[in-house]
Structure 1
């Protein structure tokens, strides 16, 4: 009798994990707090969010309930899954780490609230100038 081996996580798992992190952070929940609600460790939540561990259907439904987010919001559109792996870009790791941080999340959320395209361009040019200074 053969045993089933768990499938490795893939692009869809990474997208689902990233969305879990975004919705958790939007609700000002720590990984510890979400883990307690789910009955798992914060390390397990961290593994779900990075996509290193797959999230089963029942667990995703439970996460959806605790975050108050419709289940469908966690699933990627086809384009998100068919893009080249971000790991191919050596600059991706620090960008991903920054976006996963509380500071990166706050900065991105604030920037996206700016409706004026000219203001966004001005701020982007300003920050790029500071980075070159």
Structure 2
């Protein structure tokens, strides 16, 4: 069984890769490994060594600490239940939505944001 930290780090690798539109193959080539190894990292099946995580963080243009953000202590319960799903950035549709949102020109994006805020207040 995969350790929860390995699973979390793998999800963060996948999230960042999706967010910047990079394939597993592209990441693997930048890091100098096979794409199957990236698959194993992303599922938490294989642990990422410190040096490999350093290389991945460089390829994905984030600090190493990025992969540990949002990690709770093992066995520690969350303080309160949020209205947003716990693994929002694990949802490919949500990542596509974020990517599409930032592709909209800034003035239109601001108006869309205000509309979404009004709709969420009504809901």
- For the aligned pair, the TM-score class normalised by the smaller chain equals 0.5 to 0.7
TM-score (norm 2): 0.64
In 1, are the aligned partners of 2:9 and 2:44 still within 8 Å (CA)? yes
Larger helix share, 1 or 2: 1
The Cα RMSD (Å) is 3.1
- The structure, 1 or 2, with the larger RCO (C-alpha pairs under 8 Å, 6+ apart) is 2
Q: Give 1:119's aligned residue.
A: 119
Q: In structure 1, the residue corresponding to 2:72 is in which secondary structure?
A: helix
Partners of 2:6 and 2:120 lie apart in 1 by 31
Q: CA–CA distance in 1 between the matches of 2:73 and 2:97?
A: 22
State the match for 2:67 in structure 1: 74
CA contact (8 A) 2:19 2:99 kept: no
Q: Aligned partners of 1:117, 1:83: CA distance in 2, in Å? A: 32
Structure 1: 5+ residue stretches without partners: 1-7, 85-94, 126-133
Q: How does 1:53-68 map to 2 (within 5 A)?
A: 53-68=46-61
SS in 2 for 1:40: coil
Aligned positions of 1:25-104 closer than 5 A: 25-79=18-72, 81-82=74-75, 99=91, 101=92, 103-104=93-94
TM-score, reference length from structure 1: 0.60
Structure 2 match to 1:22:
15
Q: Distance in 2 between matches of 1:83 and 1:109?
A: 32
Task: Give the ranges of 4+ consecutive aligned residues of structure 1 lying more than 3 Å apart after TM superposition.
Answer: 80-84, 107-111, 113-118
Any idea what the Cα deviations from partners look like across 1:8-32, whole Å, max 9, x if unmatched? 6310111111111111112111001
Tell me whether 1:106 sits opposite 2:96 in the alignment. Answer: yes
